[in-house]
Structure 1
Amino acid sequence: MTSGYEQTLNLLNKEIKKENKATRNRIQSILLDNRFLSEHVLTVFPDFPVIPNERCGLWYCKPGSFNQTSYFKSTDGHTNQWDFSLRRLNLHLLPTLAKNGGIVVVDSTRRGKKLPDALSKTVPIWCAVLNSLMLEHLGREDEEVLFCPPGTVSKQEYTQIKAKIPSLVTKFKAINAISGAELARLFRGKILRPLWVYPGSSLLNAQHDLFTGEIVNVKWESPETETIIPIVLCAVSYQCQDGVDNRHGFTYVQGAADDHELWSEGLTADLLWENVSTLGDLTLSDQRIRDFITAQTELKRNNTSASNALDDLISTDILTPELHIGKIVEPLRLKKDLQDQLLATYSFVVILSEHAEVVRDATATPSDPSYNPAITIVKLSSGSKKSSKSLRTTLTDICPLAESHLNDALPILICCGDGKDMSVSVLLSLLCRNYNLETWKLEQQPHAIDKTIIKRHLFKMISTLNGRNINPPRASLNSVNAYLM
């Protein structure tokens, strides 16, 4: 039989879980963590650009406060899984680091730790691989390249990670994405050095007088003896046991933005900050907050559907003169005037989304002028494992069709819901099949394709998009590999 003590404990656990799931508490926690970032971190590192780490970090940074994002996954730092991901190169950050002398990467964790593995191990491994490549070129191979937070990563784990760095460097070299000489020119021989900040961290406390608490040095300065480019790794949430901290007028949730699909009910980071005065109102109940989110989500959807401005619905970037990439606002309904706008600019348009449709006259036939075969909707969604698996078959149909338009006077546009997955996969296939790797000029002769060629085209896409963080999931890339090889 269950004792009265156990019954009480079970009820308390249920109540704690309910509090943690409350949208109101999560929003308040995100806003509190944003204040820590703004008031305690960015005042110390005012010259370094803010780089939210997708996906969680995006919620803690106001739109307009950043121009780039990063994608360092915790799984690449998990114990015995340490890796330098060739799919998540993050090399778009290198020019930013060189120009500004450092960056602040923002992330969080809900696992009751000070730092997520992405910040304690994944980024340090990334720095170590790049440092090793540069120092090898400079003949300074005896220098330290790997830096991990000692209070988080044990000496044993540090030693194991360090032993793996040479093999990760070899793997990185194989794709020829960037050379040690290029890194040396870019960074002028300085190494990438992670620094960790979080609520209560000594690096931030050091900026205050120990006795009076007065601020004695707001701006962090690199020691003159150090030749480093700092990468400030900021975990914005403070370490807290679930459901116990109510001192701010709500139940604090550590890493509240993590896994937002499970709690957001349609709320996005952009929508949160657009309506922060209402959503941040402590006097509103959780139900009022959720009702407001539902209303705003529906309003935004209706406004989008009613828009007749193409730029409001599709944002585009140029890869080559013949190939453009786009991100659509979902759901997307292309009425006649929007179709005309598209076909005035593009010879062929592919939209990969389960939430898009071309609105045609019910009586239209392929011979009717109102029927636009040059606009093709493919019912695949970015971020869907099912769509990623189905992509291989789709590529067999779409690529030859798109290739028949490569020599048209107008370019081709390939779009999807996030501009990072489905559209990237299709364009990657077209580039590998039809373009010279070095020049990205159309080639008439077919050539052999292997995984290295595919990875190098993907890196070139990342570089060309000037910092846009594109990252097709493994399943999508597997479909691309299977189609091309």
Structure 2
Amino acid sequence: MELTSDQTINFLNREIKKEYRSLRNRLQSIVFDHKFLDEQVKAVFPDYPIIPNERCGVWYCDPKDYLQTSYFKSTDGHTNQWDFSLRRLNFHLLPALAASGGIVVVDSTRRGKRMPDALSKTVPIWCAVLNSLLLEYQGLEGEVLFCPPQTVSEFEFERIKSRIPDLVAKFKKMNILTGADIDRLFKGKILRPLWVFPGASLLSSQRDPFTGEVLSQKWHTAELENFIPVVLCTVSYQCQDGVDKRHGFTYVQGAADDHELWAQGLTAELFWKHISILSNINLSDQELESFVEDKIHPQEPNSAENGLSLDQILYTDILTEELHLGKISSNVHLGEHLVKELRLKYSLVIILSNTVTLSEDEAAIKIFKLQSECKKSSKALRTELIKICPLAEAYLPNSLPMLVCCNTGKDMSVCVSLAILCRNYNVGSWDLNVQQSIHKIDIKKHLSKIITKLEGRNVNPPRASLNSVNAYLM
């Protein structure tokens, strides 16, 4: 029986969607785009740290090539929503910019676009706010906003530019970074975004026009140039309908985007851990899916009896003398040896995780079944804070500090620490001082101080978790 035209179109659409969601096609596309970053971009900017932009950018960057990530959201650059986010300050990047004289932020975008709004507008707005503070301190005037003209129209550029003074005023109210700070850090230089992507003229100028070979001469800022480059790298190339079948697989533009829809539980961390197998172009979808399924099964809990030390499962930051923030490994069983180590270091340990277990009840080690990056836990946090905060406050005057930790060190532990700080610390000095009233601006200031304190780390609690903190405190 012959297919009707409608049936044929529906069949083709199903096949296209199948190819678009194929695990093999997605992973091969990521590997292809990584080669562009590794062979072309790094060759031209070898001295600048690679900074993958979460969540998409981390898939394209080998973990051995970076120490930090950024979190610039495209939504802050969407038309009529241009914003300088006080939750996503990304100030942990400032020391790297100052020390290296520039950075390379890596991201990607889906079909139909040359670069994501995060790189074409969000980061430029971030730079513009900092540049404005710097020039104001210097008593100078000059251009503060730079956007790619091939992506951002002149009309939109002018509208964004008109928003910058309001965004600067909003940030000033936080009183956490001044023009003097920026001037001292950057030695008087402004931040200047530069854009690279497959086929970008900036990269082409560094290649032999006849052979296409990358020249050994690297890009550099002239000594007299009064700016620090923020190189914004889009690793995926723009192709019609977002797919290209010329490479022995179906190339998907921005393949790493929305990994929940195609990765079948695979994470960027697991991808790079098993890159030798997952990058094998000869493996079928079925073989890749079977391999991934084997790797994402929950592991048996690790235990002290297996020889793990506290340093192997726990990373900590000091917020105040009394309050430390931590990241504890998933699937950890705290046996007698680990419990003893924790009790020697901390007066109280608050663990927020569904996967960490204890051999027996310990008065000074409390586990709350709140899982980071889980919407259900984000909502449940409000109720749990009623129990957690009074418990923590009973231990604050102790000679040993307390520890609040979760499996990411970015979500639940940050929010619980934020609630403790808001209730018990002066927002300006972070001295112990029980607060009689808490306002929304105080919560924002405390969060900003946490983000600034965790130098080198990207911290961005989900909105749902922060809403629970606000609801509890106010």
Shorter-chain TM-score range: over 0.9
SS at match of 1:79: coil
Q: CA separation of 1:196/1:437 partners in 2, compared to 1, >3 Å: closer, same or farther?
A: same
Equivalent positions of 1:230-241 (< 5 A) are 230-241=229-240
User: Is 1:458 matched up with 2:457?
Assistant: no
Counterpart for residue 383 of structure 1 = 373
Structure 1: gaps spanning 5 or more residues: 361-370
Q: Which amino acid aligns with 2:77?
A: G
SS at match of 2:389: helix
The 2-side partners of 1:446 and 1:235 are apart by: 46
Q: Which amino acid aligns with 1:454?
A: I
The 2-side partners of 1:156 and 1:269 are apart by: 38
Q: Deviations over 1:238-267 (max 9, x none)?
A: 112357422222111111111222222232
Counterpart for residue 18 of structure 1 = 18
The 1-side partners of 2:251 and 2:306 are apart by: 39
Q: Indicate conservation of the 8 Å contact 1:19/1:243, yes or no.
A: no
Q: CA separation of 1:380/1:212 partners in 2, compared to 1, >3 Å: closer, same or farther?
A: closer
Q: Bigger shift: 312-321 or 420-429?
A: 312-321
The 1-side partners of 2:452 and 2:27 are apart by: 35
User: Is 1:255 matched up with 2:244?
Assistant: no
The 2-side partners of 1:111 and 1:8 are apart by: 24
Counterpart for residue 340 of structure 1 = 340
The 2-side partners of 1:293 and 1:101 are apart by: 40
Q: Bigger shift: 221-230 or 15-24?
A: 221-230
Q: CA separation of 1:243/1:186 partners in 2, compared to 1, >3 Å: closer, same or farther?
A: closer
Q: Which amino acid aligns with 1:427?
A: S
Q: Indicate conservation of the 8 Å contact 2:319/2:450, yes or no.
A: yes
Counterpart for residue 415 of structure 1 = 405
Alpha-carbon offset, residue 321 of structure 1? 2.4
Aligned residues: 471
The 2-side partners of 1:422 and 1:201 are apart by: 41
Counterpart for residue 301 of structure 1 = 299
Q: Deviations over 1:191-225 (max 9, x none)?
A: 11100000011111111243554545631122455
Equivalent positions of 1:44-59 (< 5 A) are 44-59=44-59
Q: Indicate conservation of the 8 Å contact 2:41/2:203, yes or no.
A: yes
Q: Deviations over 1:117-136 (max 9, x none)?
A: 00000000101111111111
Alpha-carbon offset, residue 446 of structure 1? 3.2
Counterpart for residue 404 of structure 1 = 394
Counterpart for residue 112 of structure 1 = 112
Q: Indicate conservation of the 8 Å contact 1:121/1:148, yes or no.
A: yes
Q: Which amino acid aligns with 1:346?
A: Y
User: Is 1:275 matched up with 2:269?
Assistant: no
The 1-side partners of 2:276 and 2:195 are apart by: 31
Counterpart for residue 221 of structure 2 = 222
Q: Which amino acid aligns with 2:80?
A: N
The 2-side partners of 1:343 and 1:279 are apart by: 42
SS at match of 1:210: coil
Q: Among all aligned residue pairs of Structure 1 and Structure 2, give the percentage whose two residues are the same amino acid.
A: 61
SS at match of 1:42: helix
User: Is 1:475 matched up with 2:464?
Assistant: yes
Q: Which amino acid aligns with 1:324?
A: H
User: Is 1:63 matched up with 2:53?
Assistant: no
Q: Indicate conservation of the 8 Å contact 2:301/2:333, yes or no.
A: no
User: Is 1:127 matched up with 2:127?
Assistant: yes
TM-score computed with the length of structure 1 as normaliser: 0.92
Structure 2: gaps spanning 5 or more residues: none
Q: Indicate conservation of the 8 Å contact 2:243/2:253, yes or no.
A: no
**Correspondent of 1:432 among 422, 440, 445:** 422
The 2-side partners of 1:101 and 1:202 are apart by: 22
The 2-side partners of 1:304 and 1:62 are apart by: 26
Counterpart for residue 160 of structure 1 = 159
Counterpart for residue 329 of structure 1 = 329
Q: CA separation of 1:107/1:267 partners in 2, compared to 1, >3 Å: closer, same or farther?
A: same
The 1-side partners of 2:178 and 2:56 are apart by: 31
Q: Indicate conservation of the 8 Å contact 1:25/1:251, yes or no.
A: yes
Q: Indicate conservation of the 8 Å contact 2:302/2:333, yes or no.
A: no
Q: CA separation of 1:215/1:401 partners in 2, compared to 1, >3 Å: closer, same or farther?
A: closer
Q: Which amino acid aligns with 1:475?
A: A
Q: Which amino acid aligns with 2:202?
A: L
The 2-side partners of 1:458 and 1:374 are apart by: 26
Alpha-carbon offset, residue 452 of structure 1? 2.5
The 2-side partners of 1:24 and 1:88 are apart by: 33
SS at match of 2:192: strand
The 2-side partners of 1:221 and 1:32 are apart by: 27
The 1-side partners of 2:323 and 2:220 are apart by: 44
Counterpart for residue 194 of structure 2 = 195
Q: Indicate conservation of the 8 Å contact 1:308/1:338, yes or no.
A: no
Alpha-carbon offset, residue 188 of structure 1? 1.8
Alpha-carbon offset, residue 17 of structure 1? 1.1
Q: Bigger shift: 398-407 or 426-435?
A: 426-435
Q: Which amino acid aligns with 1:479?
A: S
Q: Bigger shift: 2-11 or 122-131?
A: 2-11
TM-score computed with the length of structure 2 as normaliser: 0.94
The 2-side partners of 1:446 and 1:70 are apart by: 33
Counterpart for residue 315 of structure 2 = 315
Counterpart for residue 286 of structure 1 = 285
Q: Bigger shift: 52-61 or 211-220?
A: 211-220
Q: Which amino acid aligns with 2:156?
A: E
